[in-house]
């Protein structure tokens, strides 16, 4: 799982000060799993109350794969249950993309094979930084005025403007 993309790179000389992971989780019907942010974090464009998707900032020296797994565990509460919730044969690496100015992210998509279970796991076992918001079509999500800016940038680039 994601071992071929290991590496955490920040290039301040190129204007990249933060690196992380954006996880597009689809329900098999084309809808994305969305979250509601509960905290502010100006350096990554996070505002409490905004709608987002699972995103995790890499810690210093942390590989992309470790950040990915930590994001699933912390935000979604799926520690030790990865096979229960995800169809890893659908996992796709979508590249290294600009999230907001000075913040870039490795983008990964995967299909959830237990949407209701994932929703409840996030609600009951997540770290509390986010709460589940539901499953939404990407084309509807990018129109939401309350969508987190970095998420909108990623979705517009990858899903809507193609």
- The answer as to whether 161 is a domain residue is no
- What b-and-e string marks burial along 1-28, b requiring 16 or more CB atoms within 10 Å of the CB? ebeeeeebeeeeeeebebbbbbbbbbbe
- The answer as to whether 162 is a domain residue is no
Tell me the C-alpha to C-alpha distance, in Å, between residue 103 and each of 29, 46, 96, 106: 30, 12, 11, 11
User: 66, exposed or middle or buried, with CB in 10 Å at 0-12, 13-18, 19+?
Assistant: middle
Question: What domain count does the chain have?
Answer: 1
- The answer as to whether 160 is a domain residue is no
- The answer as to whether 151 is a domain residue is yes
Q: Residue 9 pLDDT more than 60? A: no
Q: pLDDT digit string (tens) for 148-162?
A: 999 999 999 887 555
Using CA atoms, how far apart are residues 6 and 13, in angstroms rounded to an integer? Answer: 21
Angle, helices 64-76/115-125, rounded to nearest 10 degrees: 80
Give Cα 119 distance to the centre of its chain.
15
- The answer as to whether 41 is a domain residue is yes
- The answer as to whether 21 is a domain residue is yes
Q: Residue 147 pLDDT more than 50? A: yes
Q: Which of 156, 120, 2 is nearest to 68 (CA)?
A: 2
CB 68 within 8 A of CB 21: yes
Q: pLDDT digit string (tens) for 46-83?
A: 899 999 999 998 887 788 888 888 888 888 988 777 88
CATH number at residue 114: 3.90.79.10
Q: Residue 134 pLDDT more than 90? A: yes
Domain, as residue range, for 146: 3-155
Using alpha carbons only, give the angle 66, 20, 88 rounded to the nearest 5 degrees. 50
């Amino acid at each position: 799982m994601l071992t071929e993309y290991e590496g955490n790179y920040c290039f301040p000389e190129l204007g990249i000060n933060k690196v992380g992971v954006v996880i597009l989780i689809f329900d098999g019907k084309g809808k994305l799993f969305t979250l509601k942010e509960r905290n502010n974090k100006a350096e990554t464009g996070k505002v409490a109350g905004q709608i987002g998707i699972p995103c995790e900032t890499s810690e210093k020296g942390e590989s992309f794969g470790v950040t990915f797994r930590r994001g699933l565990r912390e935000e979604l509460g799926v520690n030790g249950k990865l096979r229960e919730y995800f169809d890893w044969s659908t996992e796709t690496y979508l590249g290294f993309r600009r999230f907001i100015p000075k913040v870039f992210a490795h983008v990964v998509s995967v299909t959830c094979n237990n949407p209701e279970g994932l929703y409840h796991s996030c609600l009951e076992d997540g770290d509390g930084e986010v709460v589940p918001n539901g499953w939404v079509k990407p084309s509807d999500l990018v129109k939401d005025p309350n969508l987190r800016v970095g998420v909108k940038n990623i979705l517009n680039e990858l899903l809507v403007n193609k």
